[in-house]
Chain A
Amino acid sequence: MVIKLENQDIDSRLLPLLDAVNDPEIPVLSVVQMGVVRSAHFVAENQALIKITPTYSGCPAMDTMAVDIKNALQNAGIQANVELVLSPAWSTDWITPQARQKLEEYGIAPPLSAEADKAVLLGQAKIVACPQCKSKNTRLISQFGSTACKALFRCDDCLEPFDYFKCLK
């Protein structure tokens, strides 16, 4: 089943096509589930305008996502224009509960609240659960991880390193 967010304005005919396009950095989530697609409409027969918003300003995956979206729609006989919009700024709040669960299963700890994030990143609180063994005996190794949106953690119980999706809102 296709799940979209409340604040996404997507034509129901385009939704399944867009939901099949995955985030290249986090391939378990689609560009719809990430909240990257803001709106999608037909402007003419077989012509669509898709508006996407970056997770981070410098996210190098944005160009790839735009191309992937164009290709996916092209394969369905639809010519797509992809436009980048900055406002409203993307927020980790837009990641759905289902998507958060998928993130965790994939091995990325989902974002907490902004306040919790600060406490965690300053080493004041142990509330990020290890996606492998669920232990909260974890610590921050680096505020910046493999991509701009993640921080690097280590679990002190199972000793595995893991990514934490930083809170952004």
Chain B
Amino acid sequence: MSKELIQYICTVADNNLILGQRLGELCGHGPNIETDIALTNIGLDLFGQVRSYFQYAAKLEGGNSSEDTFAFLRKENEYKNVLLVEQPNTDFAYTIVRQFLYDVYHIRFMENLQKSSDETLAAIAAKGVKEVAYHARFSADWVRRLGDGTEESHRRAQQALDDLYTYTDELFHQNESELSLVNAGIAVNTAQFKSDYYQTIHAVFAEATLTVPDQKYFLKGGKKGIHSEHMGYILTEMQYMQRTYPNMQW
């Protein structure tokens, strides 16, 4: 059970970790000071949640493991984040649409994780759900502004949606080990809010005058550790300090 639980914590935490890393890349590069601060603050919230998850995972694993070994010393195929969050920032529209597609999922996920029979996970979720509510409000607001904005912002937002929509289905993939934790009352049964997720994002895209692509095939792999070409670059930068100076501490 403990091994499965550690795996599950990684699938949950890795989404935050990799998206947070992507948002961190924008520090000092946001389109203006307010969005720059907002995006890095969102990244900070995500990292805060990651620390709680990994501290818990490290406690379960015991030995020499720590939050840092989970964050920085795994190999690429041991990261279980979905492909969506590793997609590059590209432009502000991409960054916002990617964030929105994740936030709408994340808030529902955290609402449900609060009810987990695992007390630590429930506590992390109860804390984090309040933060994620702010993220979701920010990204939805910007989706509307960009989509229903200028011709150029609309074009870019539409492009981002066309390219990123294909990664949404993976958010709801659950393997057997995860489903056994669902049955044990520990993991979140994501299937129960899937239709609500799509209804919500479609409604916001409609308000934003954006067209949802007619998608028949969805890309997946990250949750199994099979990542896109972007992942290696992310890890190279993220793991640099720990790989170069093993066990270094701030």
Which A residues fall within an 8 A CB radius of B? 54, 56-60, 86-90, 118, 121-122, 141-148, 152, 166, 168-169
Contact = CB atoms under 8 A, between A and B. Distances in A.
Contact of B41 (A54, A87, A148, A169): A148
16 contacts: A56-B131, A57-B51, A57-B127, A57-B131, A86-B124, A87-B127, A89-B127, A118-B137, A141-B34, A143-B134, A144-B41, A144-B134, A146-B37, A148-B41, A148-B44, A148-B45
B92 interface: no
B196 interface: no
Given A87-B119, A152-B34, 9 more contacts: A56-B131, A57-B127, A58-B48, A86-B52, A87-B127, A89-B127, A141-B34, A143-B134, A148-B44
B48 A145 contact: no
Of B46, B48, B49, B51, the most chain A CB neighbours within 10 A belong to B48
B45 A58 contact: yes
A39 to B, nearest CB: 16
Interface residues of B, number: 28
Contacts, number: 72
B83 interface: no
A147 B38 CA distance: 10
B42 interface: yes
B197 interface: no
A60 B44 CA distance: 9
Of B34, B41, B119, the most chain A CB neighbours within 10 A belong to B41
A57 B45 contact: yes
Given A56-B131, A57-B45, A168-B130, A144 B51 contact: no
B134 A166 contact: yes
Chain A interface, >50% SS class: loop
A162 to B, nearest CB: 15
B205 interface: no
Contacts of A148: 41, 44-45, 131
B128 interface: yes
Contacts of A142: 34-35, 37-38
A58 B37 contact: no
Nearest to A167: B130
Nearest to B20: A58
A28 B49 CA distance: 27
B130 A87 contact: no
Contacts of B127: 54, 57, 86-87, 89-90
B121 to A, nearest CB: 10
B72 interface: no
Name the 10 nearest CB pairs between A and B, nearest first. A58-B48, A57-B48, A142-B34, A87-B123, A144-B38, A86-B123, A58-B44, A144-B41, A89-B127, A89-B126
B47 interface: yes
A90 to B, nearest CB: 8
Nearest to B43: A58
Nearest to A58: B48
Contacts of A152: 34
B138 interface: yes
Given A56-B48, A57-B52, A144-B138, A89 B130 contact: yes
A152 B127 CA distance: 22
A92 to B, nearest CB: 10
Contacts of B49: 57-58
Interface in B206-233: none
